[in-house]
Chains A and B, each alone.
Chain A
Amino acid sequence: MHPAEDFFSLFSLPRSFAVDKPALTANFRALQAASHPDKVAAGDEAAKLAAVQRSSLLNDAFATLKSPLARAGYLLRLAGIDVEAVSQSDLDPAVLFEQMQLRESVAEAPAGEDGLAPLAALKQEIGARIEVREAAFVAALEAEEFSATKRVFHELQFLYKLFQEIEASEEQRLGY
């Protein structure tokens, strides 16, 4: 993708981890309003196809920038860093230990609805750790310390994944 056509510029936003969410949403909706296939519902197939492609791109771009993790990964890709390739050796032993401890805490939550309160507390704890890592990510990215940026990104990936697992566990306990 041409640098001038990245997802940030698509929504007239600066290329940074911190995004102005109301502006992102407003710009997304305005652009969708202009390009959605519904706007050419009575038109010919070529116009419809072009609209589907444009509208899909906007949906994809919006979903990427809306999610902090996807946004971080996208920033790394824009910086030319391969986010897929990760090995355990990229991670600090202290981080691996932290991950193990967090996993144990999740596994130790009592079964049924009794586990909801400890899980909520864990979510808060993980939320706080995510905030710290996101700040570290921004700092490393700005300093162009790419290996550090990538390492923090993988730590974030783990924390978000654990967060999702806790939510799934909560949903199971709630009978959803």
Chain B
Amino acid sequence: MALLQIQEPGGKPARQMHRLAVGIDLGTTNSLVSARCGLKVESLPDAQGEHLLPSVVHYATDGEIVVGTAAKARALIDAPNTIVSAKRMLGKSLSELRAIGHYLPYEFDSTRADTAPAVMTRAGSKDPVAVSADILSALKARAEDALKGQLEGAVITVPAYFNDAQRQQTKDAAEAAGLKVLRLLNEPTAAAVAYGLDSADQGNIVVFDLGGGTFDVSILSLTRGVFEVLATGGDTNLGGDDFDRLLAAWLAKQPGADKHSEGELLQLANSLKHQLSTDATVEFALGSNPHSLSREQFATLAKELLSRAMLLCRRSLRDAKLGLDEIDNVVLVGGSTRMPAVREAVAELFGREPLTSIDPDRVVAVGAGIQADVLIGNKSDSDFLLLDVTPLSLGIETMGELVEKIIPRNTTIPVSRAQEFTTFKDGQTAMALHVMQGEREAVADCRSLARFTLRGIPPMVAGAAKIRVTFQVDADGILSVSAEETLTGAKAEIQVKPSYGLEAATIEDMLQSSQANARADMELRSLQEAKVDAVQLIDAIAAAVGVDAHLLEEGEGQRIDEAVAALAEALESGTSAQLVQLTETLNRISGDFAARRMDAHIGRALQGESIDRVESE
């Protein structure tokens, strides 16, 4: 605490020169940079007056790095040297990228590990971090030109569902571009910030973000400048493109559609959708057949997509433990929220008109700019605070390939949680720790984030060592894990910085299937627990027979062996009920032997042998 006081003796420092900090919306398709200009935070245009910078990088023959509209124009002519949608590649392995099936017209660097893919360009091998850094450098140069000075820091937005790897790589890209990252900010949160400070509102806010391909909903509460994220949810496979496809499918059934290719119908669908955002009805022709389409018709077609989005809103409200009537404001983000059908559905669900005064394409960048201005210290401390949450549960693998959750999803960050574990076998001196992310109970259904080993545990009987595992998630959502044996202080730790991360769609699947599979998980858990018990008993008996075989009565050893064999067989293919039964049988059969051992050891102890020696056997 003393340190903090030294920073600001007797209150605020004298008003210094305005420090330059920007907000950056590093998007999949387009990126923006914003900063305080006078009283307002606004996105900054380039020399041609364009605010949106296409997130495309072209590596030209003369060695120049071209970013933006000019690069986009080269995407078709020189695809192998022009990288689009680098954001989709952040934090992923090459095999994951191929599995997702995005069109990848690139030659990947074969000398790189699968987990660290890079594209071979004429400018050399470029990984998504390097490409993102080039985009960030272009935005930095734009901002420094416009603001006429050096930037001291930046707030960069990321999707709420970005995992550790994706967040870490975003930070790495910023560092490579020479930007000091003040904070990674979740995109929906940034949007709420953009509106929050303009009005001195207090209450609960829903951020409804419908982009081209993804949908995010966040529930926030605002009280006197403190934003608290209560819950986040969404669907990474729901966006404006789905409305295009739906409309194209309808068009294909209309008279005259056979005169048009699928691609043409999709293009027409997209343009009709845009026109319906300004006009109540549009006229068009298919072949020589005249047609018209009204907003109402379109809304009817889109009903299913809209109800899916509304369902996800209700689910997040439930996570936030709020009712529909407790929502005070709804913020719209993303170009797809320009559709009147979307606005109406939102207004109907929440019983109020959504906020639309800030351009839905720029609102995230504006919010990031506001936050950057606060964090760099241009605003007094008490003004504004943002408390964010973890989007997915974090845990550790335990015996039986189960995941023990240590930090549940929607926990406010930063957070530090510790849990105690123990050894499984006698004399165990090391423990492998496997850090997992996801909602399901089985290791196979969650995402592996990192593995590390704690060594130097003193040999003790199973269950005697106390291993304290601590998870720490910082304000950027980045995790570090440490493990300590509390008796001896043996320690190991790791910052979770995996070389690749989760496909966003996978996260959503994991969330959904966790609910659908709760029952299967319970059955699996009981099976796994039964297996753990069985293995422990088999090990204990093997150890006991090894030491005290002379205490076995005639035929007893064989009976025990048979029961062990039956149990071992059930371990391979048995149900939990069979395992429990066979474990009980083995316990019963070996019970007399165990009792004789106990008597013999007590007898020896009474004869003067030290308890330690008895136990060490």
Contacts and interface: CB of A to CB of B under 8 A. Distances in A.
Interface of A: 25-26, 29, 32-34, 36-43, 46-47, 50, 52-53, 55-57, 59-60, 62-63, 168, 171-172, 174-176
Interface stretch (B98-106, B238-246, B377-385): B377-385
Contacts of A55: 414, 475
A52 B381 contact: no
B293 interface: no
Nearest to B316: A176
Contacts of A37: 414, 474-475
23 contacts: A29-B223, A33-B225, A36-B387, A37-B414, A38-B183, A38-B374, A41-B153, A42-B375, A46-B3, A50-B3, A52-B416, A52-B475, A55-B414, A55-B475, A56-B415, A57-B416, A59-B413, A59-B414, A59-B415, A60-B416, A60-B417, A62-B412, A176-B314
B11 to A, nearest CB: 14
A76 to B, nearest CB: 18
Interface residues of B, number: 39
Pick the 5 closest A-B CB pairs, nearest first: A56-B416, A41-B375, A176-B315, A41-B182, A37-B475
Interface in B197-245: 223-226, 228
A176 B311 contact: yes
Given A38-B183, A41-B153, A55-B475, A33 B381 contact: yes
Contact of A33 (B180, B315, B385, B411): B385
Contacts, number: 91
Nearest to A54: B1
A175 B295 CA distance: 28
A48 to B, nearest CB: 8
Given A38-B475, A46-B3, A52 B414 contact: yes
A60 B180 CA distance: 29
Nearest to B412: A59
A176 B416 contact: no
A176 B224 CA distance: 32
B382 A53 contact: no
Contacts of A50: 3-4
B375 A32 contact: no
A142 B491 CA distance: 41
A12 B4 CA distance: 22
B411 A43 contact: no
A56 B414 contact: yes
B414 A175 contact: no
A173 to B, nearest CB: 11
Interface of B: 3-4, 7, 152-153, 180, 182-183, 223-226, 228, 311, 314-315, 318, 374-377, 381-382, 385-387, 411-417, 472, 474-475, 515-516, 518
Contacts of A56: 414-416, 472
A53 B7 contact: no
A26 B375 CA distance: 22
Contact of B183 (A34, A41, A59): A41
Contacts of B180: 42
Given A38-B386, A52-B416, A56-B415, 4 more contacts: A26-B223, A29-B385, A42-B153, A47-B3
A39 B7 CA distance: 11
B416 A53 contact: yes
Contacts of A26: 223
Contacts of B376: 41-42
A64 B73 CA distance: 55
B473 to A, nearest CB: 8
A133 to B, nearest CB: 21
Contacts of B386: 38
Which has the most chain B C-beta neighbours within 10 Å: A41, A42, A175, A176? A41
Contacts of A40: 4
Contacts of B311: 174-176
B415 A176 contact: no
B475 A36 contact: yes
A152 to B, nearest CB: 24
A37 B152 CA distance: 18
Given A41-B183, A41-B375, A32 B387 contact: yes
Nearest to A172: B515
B515 A168 contact: yes
Contacts of B7: 43, 47
B153 A36 contact: no
A29 B3 contact: no
Given A33-B381, A56-B415, A171-B515, A38 B4 contact: no
A11 B412 CA distance: 17
A176 to B, nearest CB: 4
A28 B381 CA distance: 16
B382 A33 contact: yes
Nearest to B377: A42
A33 B474 contact: no
Contacts of B228: 29
A63 B387 contact: no
A162 to B, nearest CB: 14
B318 A176 contact: yes
Contacts of A52: 414, 416, 472, 474-475
Contacts of B225: 33
A43 B182 CA distance: 9
A32 B226 contact: yes
A57 B413 CA distance: 10
A171 B514 CA distance: 12
Nearest to B155: A41
B412 A171 contact: no
A176 B153 contact: no
A62 B377 CA distance: 27
